[in-house]
């Protein structure tokens, strides 16, 4: 996990991965626990990148009833407000 964290520290790499994820979204579906794992690689300090990621995959989340786990436990206060506004 440490190696991945080091790789994901670069904002450029994060943006490239986010773009690639958007391209592959037609064939990928996520559970909330998988999305939480993915969100852990994106630092909250990088603006609203995690909110953008959630919005990108929202229609591909298979267990929306567990979305509260992300909202309550993963997101910052500002990110939470932005997600509520966007959804």
Q: From first to last of the 87 residues of the chain, give the pLDDT tens digit.
A: 444 444 555 666 666 776 777 776 777 898 999 999 989 888 888 778 899 889 988 989 999 999 999 999 999 999 999 999 988
Total domain count, the chain: 1
Residue 29: exposed, middle, or buried by beta-carbon count in 10 A (0-12, 13-18, 19+)?
A: exposed
Res 26: pLDDT: 72
Q: Which domain does 14 fall in, by range?
A: 2-86
Contact 58, 23 (CB under 8 A): no
H-state helical runs in 25-73? 32-39, 49-57, 68-73
């Amino acid at each position: 996990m440490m190696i991945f964290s080091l790789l994901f520290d670069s904002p450029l790499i994060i943006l490239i991965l986010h773009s690639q994820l958007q391209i592959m979204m037609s064939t990928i579906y996520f559970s909330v626990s998988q999305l939480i794992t993915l969100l852990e690689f994106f630092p909250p300090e990088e603006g609203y990148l995690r909110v953008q990621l959630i919005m990108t995959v929202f229609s591909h989340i298979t267990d929306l009833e567990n979305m509260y786990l992300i909202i309550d436990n993963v997101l910052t206060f500002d990110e939470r407000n932005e997600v509520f506004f966007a959804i």
